[in-house]
Structure 1
């Protein structure tokens, strides 16, 4: 039976368009015009994307289990104090699922690759906002509760998600209609200035992360004395923070494959390690948030303002709507049918792949 199943072939870096190239990865690329069936079949063969897909697809089910546990055990319909945790857990389910889908179907075409990762960026923006919402409700130090910063923290975080999604999408193709459309894909700045594009994407996600973590950084690194919420949970917060910075390091440096191109094509390259560290970091973050929620509940209910729909579920839904609007805006010029949206380079490379 298994002998009748024909798995898609894999190709080298010289056989696929430049938009599919990854630094230090020489082989293991899928066909740049794969069908959806081929993309799904590639989950069960070793390519340079296989581990990327599974390292985010499997954790999605863990976070979904955690979400269902909270819904079934907590009185989420009447207890607004649980709503920030719900938003955070939903974002923890969405971002690895969106990432695994993006890595799975990004080899269908050049345009599909861009659109897939647009959704990936939007999901990461939602996760960033989910983190901010839980930090505002459970993590913020005692002496910052109800401060001016605390009152405007969530609205600024929502604005940051819009900036994050828009800047990340811009880093792939530039400004829609002005720098690309369905007939011509200039692909500025990624095609002409790939390092600058990577810098823009890094800034797009580093900026909201650093803002969201201002109360946490102050609590675990700077605050001293009364009102600093110096409890046992801080160990978990420090572990999460260390792993988050390790995740950023792997994303920006492309180590270890940069030191030995071709040696980590299938297993052990930086994006796989980036996925693993990111998920483990999120796991420790979730543990810390849950412990803060449990241990500080009585004090926060007595001293902090009431958790509202607008600052939790409402903010998350607004983020989703705005991000989808941005993704649609950047994707619309790419939705032309046929071969009009392909560059001569992508057509030639696809033809070359068919010949192998």
Structure 2
């Protein structure tokens, strides 16, 4: 019978330094894992298993060549849609605080507050690497910041959708008086622009990926400097 062997997991000193995560000491996959190993690792407990199953987003960001830039791009990938999606809410809050608009009959839903709180927690966890930074090795599999970051992001999305539904119910009549309905043509045009924009982004990063060298010295170098000594100690 065909038997599949789960990939071997590595300690932090057994992989190149570019793949190290602050406070995560074990549960790493091999940096040159085959496609089959990557699939199989989704069904074993690694320090990425919870992340894999809490979201599935295709990413192409230059991690090996420019880890600092990659961090900025990944942060912007979450910050930009958050700001864009909440511009109407911030505008509305500004009108309320400036007393140019009455919010008594159309009070903000409590879901808006929960959503903003989850968003702040998401950003804090992503940037702080807590709690694993305080106790390296204790949260390698369960409870590290990236997992908590995913959970807060999911909860924030839930409360955001609840807030939108609440706004639609309480402000539908007012909105209908202010603006004419968008209609099918406008909806299709907006959707088409979004699809074209996403395709352009995918094409740009795919092209840069295809132009990258076939071999990367960081992946071919084996143990980082000092790794073998650390293992012996």
Q: Please report the TM-score for the alignment, with normalisation by the length of structure 1.
A: 0.54
Residues 252/290 of structure 1: CA separation in 2 closer, same or farther (3 Å cut): same
Q: What's the secondary structure of 2:42's corresponding residue?
A: helix
The structure 2 residue matched to 1:202, chosen from 53, 65, 75, is 75
- Per-residue deviation, 1:24: 1.9
Residues 8/200 of structure 1: CA separation in 2 closer, same or farther (3 Å cut): closer
Q: What's the secondary structure of 1:117's corresponding residue?
A: coil
1:325 and 2:200 correspond: yes
Q: Deviations over 1:234-281 (max 9, x none)?
A: 211111111111111111111111112221111111110000000011
Determine the structure 1 residue equivalent to 2:230: none
> C-alpha root-mean-square deviation of aligned residues, in Å?
3.0
Q: Where does the alignment leave 5 or more consecutive residues of structure 1 unmatched?
A: 57-96, 99-115, 119-168, 174-184, 351-356
For residues 22 and 36 of structure 1, the distance between their equivalents in structure 2, rounded to whole angstroms, comes to 22
Q: What's the secondary structure of 1:349's corresponding residue?
A: coil
Q: Which has the larger radius of gyration?
A: 2
1:55 and 2:54 correspond: yes
Q: How many residues align?
A: 221
Q: Deviations over 1:39-87 (max 9, x none)?
A: 222122100011112223xxxxxxxxxxxxxxxxxxxxxxxxxxxxxxx
Q: What's the secondary structure of 1:297's corresponding residue?
A: helix
User: Given that residues 109 and 166 in structure 2 are in contact (C-alpha distance below 8 angstroms), is that contact kept between their aligned partners in structure 1?
Assistant: no
Residues 232/209 of structure 1: CA separation in 2 closer, same or farther (3 Å cut): same
For residues 119 and 51 of structure 2, the distance between their equivalents in structure 1, rounded to whole angstroms, comes to 18
Greater helix fraction, Structure 1 or Structure 2:
1
- Per-residue deviation, 1:302: 2.7
- Between 291-300 and 261-270, report the one with greater CA deviation: 291-300
For residues 219 and 322 of structure 1, the distance between their equivalents in structure 2, rounded to whole angstroms, comes to 28
The structure 1 residue matched to 2:125, chosen from 230, 233, 250, is 250
Residues 213/207 of structure 1: CA separation in 2 closer, same or farther (3 Å cut): same
Q: Deviations over 1:127-167 (max 9, x none)?
A: xxxxxxxxxxxxxxxxxxxxxxxxxxxxxxxxxxxxxxxxx
Residues 323/231 of structure 1: CA separation in 2 closer, same or farther (3 Å cut): same
Determine the structure 2 residue equivalent to 1:306: 181
